Structures are given as structure tokens and as C-alpha cells.
Amino acid sequence: MANVTRHINATAGGSAYEILIGGGILREAFLRKELSPFERIAVIAGSRVYELHRAYIEEALDVIRGRCRLIFFDDSEENKSYAYAGRFLEKFIEYGLNRKSAVIGIGGGVVGDFTGYCAGLFMRGIPVIHVPTTLLAMVDSSIGGKAAVNLSVGKNIAGVFRQPRMVVSDTLFLGTLPDGELRNGLTEALKHGLIGEPTTLGILQGNSMETIRREEVINRLVALSASFKAGIVEKDERESGLRAILNFGHTVGHAIESFMEYRGISHGGAVAAGIRVKMEAMRRMGLVSDGDAVRVGSLIDRYGLAERTPGLDIDGVIDHMAYDKKNFGGAVNFVLLDGLGKPKINQQIPADLLKEVMSETLT
């Protein structure tokens, strides 16, 4: 049996839970006391990860076989919808779930969002356990309790806060993760390094796309980001202040994604492009040094994180920033740095400077 190499104790919203990290730990996790009280368990598994790891997942499920029902989820953004969630809630009733039941989600961020949302609604909320299978989900979306589905007007409009009972970051799943998906997670880890988790920058600087996948390296990277984000969420679960620093790079990144209608660019590629824009703008504003800007730019290049989009309509992207649900009072608000590791929320970048930097770095 593989061993859990790292335990992180997380607390938020009056709930305490553990984040388990290690390679090949899924069966061990399902044997833990956190699952013992539940009479029935619905396991929502992403179709793609199940196809890749069917034997491994089934072996782990053997330990809860008599009380679990496996439900497959075609984990696309189109299916992360309010209407689709209704179908799964009906399945919960069909399978006999009740207040003494739980839901486990096995998959990437879409699966985690969807699972947490369904668990949060069913009978006013039953426990959820996350098994993130992508690096992005391990370092970011599985931690913090946000769960949402999409409406026709936009992404993540209908949502709940639902802290998990446990998070199982089994890095064995990362062995089949394509480089493009790995980069999405590396971008979020880089973000954490820039806003207050400095050890992450050293790990990224000391490795490459080839060596970062080594189990001891990736486990440590996941643990650092998970611990950092859990600490932020503990202080500000509902994003009333401090938690907003986690949006660093996302205002520009989300605007690029939205303008491009979520086609032709990855989430990580868009956010990394947003980080590049921020670093250059902050350098010109005197908020970060030339050396730090070069250092961050070299890390983005080393891992191929940012994506250029020739011919991108910069004015159109800027217009989309105004739609960001985190903006208030008519101003576009950014998270900026007063030096590496020192984030400040609700900051502005001069409009002319923003457009100039975006034109130079994005196209």
C-alpha cells in the first residue's frame, strides 16, 4: 500500500478537514474514518479519467463497494450546468441517498465544481470528498469550498460554498496528464509563488518540464500550494477581502478567455498571459524591480505557460474586463504587487499603460 507523504490540516467556515497528498493513495484514503459514517456514497467520476485509470479506481472502490454507486460524468464545460445538476440530484434520490450519505468526485476542476454543487444542494447539503486528478485541481480548485455551475449568461453564476470533508490529491493520476494540462496547474502554482509562497518560485526555478513531474518534486509543489491556499481561505472563506489576492493574473486572463469565447486558449495560458501583462505593467509603474520582472518572465518561458494570440483585439479584451464579477463602482480592479510576495487588492493600472503593455505582450 502506498503511503500518504503529506497531510495538510485545513479549516474554513467552521469545518476542519485534511488534504492528503501522495502517489497511489486512493485505496488507503477510502479506508479512512472520514468515510465510515456514510450509509450510501455517490461517486461521480469524470469519464476521461475513469477510462485512463479504470482498474486503479475500481480497486480503490472495492473497500466501499457495498454502499457506493458510481455515476459517470462527461466533464465538459457544457455539462457543468444547472440543468445537468438536476439530473444528478434525481439520480441521488433513485440511488437512495439521504442525510447520512456523501458524494465523492473523482476528476479535474469541472468534476470538482459539479460534485461540490450537487452535494451542497442535496437535502440542504451533504458531505463531499474531492479526489482531484489534475494539477490545477490539486493546487487550486479542490481547496476553498467554492462550487458552481454555469448558466447561459456565463460561467460559475449559480454556486455555493461547500467545504469538503476530505481532499485526496493522489499524484499517480498526474502520470497520464498531458503537458498542456500540467501547465495549467503550474500557472496557478506560479501565481501562489508571486503572491506569498516564495518556496514555489525556487522549485520552479530549479526544475524544468521534464523534472517537475518527479514524484518528490510534484508532491512538494502540490503541498506548498495547497497549504498556502488553505491558509488564505481559513482567514477569508467568502472572499470579503484577503482571498481576493488569489485572483492575481485572472482579471486579464478571464477577459481573454471570455473574449475568445473559451476557444483557442487554455485557462492556464490565459492566466499566464495575464501575469506577464501584470509584471510588465508593474515594472513600468515601479512596483517590481527589473530583475524580478525578468525572473518571472523567464519562468513563464521555461515552462511555456503563456499563449500569444496574434491579431487579438486588445480593445475588445479590455471591454470584457468590465464584465468581471469582481469589479465594483465602474472601475477595473486588479491585484497588484508591491514587490514579490506583497499583493494589494483593488488597484488600478492607467488605461493607456494597460493597453500599451497588452498590445506588446499578448499579440
Which residue did the predictor score with more confidence, 65 or 323? 65
Same domain? For 187 and 304 the reply is: yes
325-344 tens-digit pLDDT: 555 545 688 999 999 999 99
Instruction: Name the pLDDT band for 58 (thresholds 50, 70, 90).
Output: very high
In a domain, 345, yes or no: yes
Annotated catalytic residue: which of 27, 40, 183, 267? 267
Q: Is-catalytic flag, 247?
A: yes
Instruction: Name the pLDDT band for 223 (thresholds 50, 70, 90).
Output: very high
Mean pLDDT check: name the lowest of 21-30, 188-197, 323-332, 341-350: 323-332
Which residues, 6+ apart, have CB-to-CB distance to 85 below 8 Å?
114, 117, 118, 121, 149
| Count of the separate structural domains present in the chain | 2
What's residue 157's pLDDT? 84
Annotated catalytic residue: which of 162, 229, 278, 320? 229
Same domain? For 202 and 136 the reply is: no
Q: Is-catalytic flag, 267?
A: yes
Same domain? For 99 and 21 the reply is: yes
The grid cell for 75 is: 466533464
Annotated catalytic residue: which of 40, 192, 254, 278? 254
**Last residue of some domain: 129, 144, 177?**
177
In a domain, 323, yes or no: yes
Q: Is-catalytic flag, 183?
A: no
Same domain? For 140 and 197 the reply is: no
Which residues, 6+ apart, have CB-to-CB distance to 189 below 8 Å?
135, 139, 200, 204, 221, 224, 225
**Last residue of some domain: 120, 153, 177?**
177
In a domain, 1, yes or no: no
In a domain, 305, yes or no: yes
The domain that holds 324 is classified in CATH as: 1.20.1090.10
Same domain? For 199 and 171 the reply is: no
- Distance in angstroms (rounded) separating the CA atoms of residues 80 and 92: 17
Nearest to 226 by CA among 248, 199, 207: 199
Same domain? For 199 and 346 the reply is: yes
Q: Is-catalytic flag, 100?
A: no
Q: Is-catalytic flag, 53?
A: no
The domain that holds 19 is classified in CATH as: 3.40.50.1970
Q: Is-catalytic flag, 250?
A: yes
Query: What range defines the domain where residue 332 resides?
Result: 178-363
State what percent of residues in the chain have pLDDT above 90. 80
Quick check: 57 pLDDT over 90? yes
- Distance in angstroms (rounded) separating the CA atoms of residues 291 and 281: 14
**Last residue of some domain: 177, 207, 235?**
177
Same domain? For 26 and 112 the reply is: yes
Give 286's strand partners. Answer: none
Q: Is-catalytic flag, 146?
A: yes
**Span 56-74, mean pLDDT?**
96
- Distance in angstroms (rounded) separating the CA atoms of residues 140 and 200: 14
Highest mean pLDDT pick, 159-163, 195-199, 325-329: 195-199
Same domain? For 261 and 125 the reply is: no
Same domain? For 360 and 222 the reply is: yes
Q: Is-catalytic flag, 197?
A: no
Annotated catalytic residue: which of 191, 243, 278, 283? 243
Same domain? For 18 and 76 the reply is: yes
Note the residue count of the chain. 363
Same domain? For 147 and 269 the reply is: no
Mean pLDDT check: name the lowest of 53-62, 69-78, 117-126, 168-177: 69-78
The grid cell for 226 is: 495547497
Same domain? For 14 and 42 the reply is: yes
